[in-house]
């Protein structure tokens, strides 16, 4: 498969076949590439194959070819030996557990066994490319490609270079994720949690505060988010939203009229809860009241994401004249 820049991807090595690795495997197979999964778990093959069967209908709905997800076409192989798994890879996607020492060890081994021009990306959600690449001879080859669960559906991939990452690797990673149908976004500085998870953490902190204070329950808070800011944010992010909130004067007018109260009233009143034992017990207890099992909720979410993406595709990228 090409990325529009002339680069061809035929073989992808997926290192770590857990939640994220299995999801990348599904997407890469559905985009017509060969995948080698490397994971020491003894039951990795049945687990990944069951995962692929489970997500095949959703990817099929998106118009992708899912034959290789449900039949043994030879496009998917499992190879527990890391060096053998990456030996002919065009791209290495690492999704092993989030432990620095493990990721450093894996990448030091990958770089000596993979072809010299293979693209290297780690899905790490918090560890940086600078830290992960510390034991590599050529850390300039490594970049973070941080997806959102499930990566076969959610469009964003945060592409975060380390201190030594070659800018050409960043460009190649962005082109690769685009070729996979993703919306890659360059994050220019390494910062803990990158961008989307920091935003999520900020909102979650206040959500925990509101539930702990008894202002709303978890279920009520979730309905508030999905029925208001969540729905809007799929179309216009926080800045565009407030740009629209400022009337014809846009964001400058919004900041002029409401900035003072935001700074003096709203921001100082935000909570800073701690996840101590009673708080965790309260949050866990309320989580018993969701109206379905985790699997059922995940299936409903995935179906809704597919339909939402279809609906968003109908909206013109440019505002009407």
Ligand X SMILES: NC(=O)c1ccc[n+]([C@@H]2O[C@H](COP(=O)([O-])OP(=O)(O)OC[C@H]3O[C@@H](n4cnc5c(N)ncnc54)[C@H](O)[C@@H]3O)[C@@H](O)[C@H]2O)c1
Contact residues for ligand X, defined by CB under 6 A: 15-21, 38-41, 95-98, 102, 106, 123-125, 146-147, 149
Residue 226: C-alpha distances to residues 194, 214, 218, 230 (Å):
23, 20, 12, 5
Quote the least distance from Cβ 124 to ligand X, whole Å.
4
Write down the least CB distance from residue 149 to ligand X, Å: 3
Residue nearer to ligand X on the CB measure, 19 or 235: 19
Contacts of 173 (CB under 8 A, 6+ apart): 119, 121, 143, 145, 159, 184
Closer residue to ligand X in complex, CB, 39/218 = 39
Q: Which residues pair with 156 in a beta bridge?
A: 183
Q: Which is nearer to ligand X, 40 or 310 (CB)?
A: 40
CA distance 175 to 168: 11
Would you give the DSSP letter of residue 163?
Answer: T
| Residue among 42 and 268 whose Cβ is closer to ligand X | 42
Q: Give the nearer residue to ligand X in terms of CB position, either 65 or 98.
A: 98
Closer to ligand X by Cβ: residue 10 or 41: 41
Tell me which residue has its CB nearest to ligand X: 18
Rounded least distance, CB 146 to ligand X, Å: 6
Q: Report how far residue 236's alpha carbon sits from residue 244's, in angstroms, rounded to the nearest whole number.
A: 9
Nearest distance, CB of residue 250 and ligand X, angstroms: 34
Specify the residue, 17 or 133, whose C-beta has the smaller distance to ligand X: 17
Query: Between the CA atoms of 223, 229, 232 and 238, what dihedral angle is there, to the nearest 10 degrees?
Result: -160
Q: Is the peptide bond before 150 cis (omega within 30 degrees of 0)?
A: yes
- The pair of structure tokens assigned to 58 is 């959703």
Residues in a beta bridge with 184: 157
Shortest distance in whole angstroms from residue 98 CB to ligand X: 4
H helices of 181-321, where?
196-212, 218-226, 229-233, 238-245, 250-261, 267-269, 277-287, 294-313
The CB-of-141 to ligand X minimum distance in angstroms stands at: 18
At its nearest, how many Å lie between ligand X and the CB of residue 120? 14
């Amino acid at each position: 498969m090409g990325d529009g820049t002339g680069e061809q991807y035929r073989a992808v090595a997926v290192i770590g076949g857990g939640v994220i690795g299995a999801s990348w495997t599904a997407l890469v197979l559905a985009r017509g590439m060969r995948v080698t999964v490397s994971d020491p778990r003894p039951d990795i093959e049945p687990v990944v194959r069951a995962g692929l069967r489970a997500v095949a209908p959703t990817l099929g709905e998106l118009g992708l070819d899912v034959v290789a997800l449900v039949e043994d076409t030879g496009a998917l192989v499992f190879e527990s030996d890391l060096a053998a798994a990456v030996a002919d890879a065009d791209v290495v996607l690492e999704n092993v557990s989030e432990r620095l020492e493990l990721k450093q060890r894996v990448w030091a081994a990958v770089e000596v066994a993979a072809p010299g021009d293979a693209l290297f990306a780690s899905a790490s959600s918090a560890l940086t490319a600078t830290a992960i690449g510390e034991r590599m001879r050529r850390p300039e080859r490594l970049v973070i490609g941080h997806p959102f669960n499930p990566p076969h559906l959610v469009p964003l991939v945060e592409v975060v270079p380390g201190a030594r990452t070659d800018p050409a690797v960043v460009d190649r990673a962005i082109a690769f994720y685009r070729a996979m149908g993703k919306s890659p976004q360059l994050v220019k500085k390494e910062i803990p949690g990158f961008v989307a998870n920091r935003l999520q953490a900020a909102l979650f902190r206040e959500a925990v505060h509101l539930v702990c204070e008894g202002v709303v329950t978890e279920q009520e808070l979730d309905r508030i988010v999905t029925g208001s800011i969540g729905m809007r944010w799929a179309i216009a992010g926080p800045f565009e939203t407030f740009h629209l909130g400022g009337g014809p004067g846009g964001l400058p007018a919004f900041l002029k009229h409401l900035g003072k109260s935001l700074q003096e009233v709203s921001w100082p009143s935000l909570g800073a809860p701690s996840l101590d034992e009673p708080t965790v017990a309260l949050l866990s207890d309320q989580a018993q009241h969701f109206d379905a099992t985790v699997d059922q909720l995940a299936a409903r979410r995935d179906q809704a994401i597919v339909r939402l993406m279809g609906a968003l595709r109908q909206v013109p990228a440019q505002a009407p004249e």
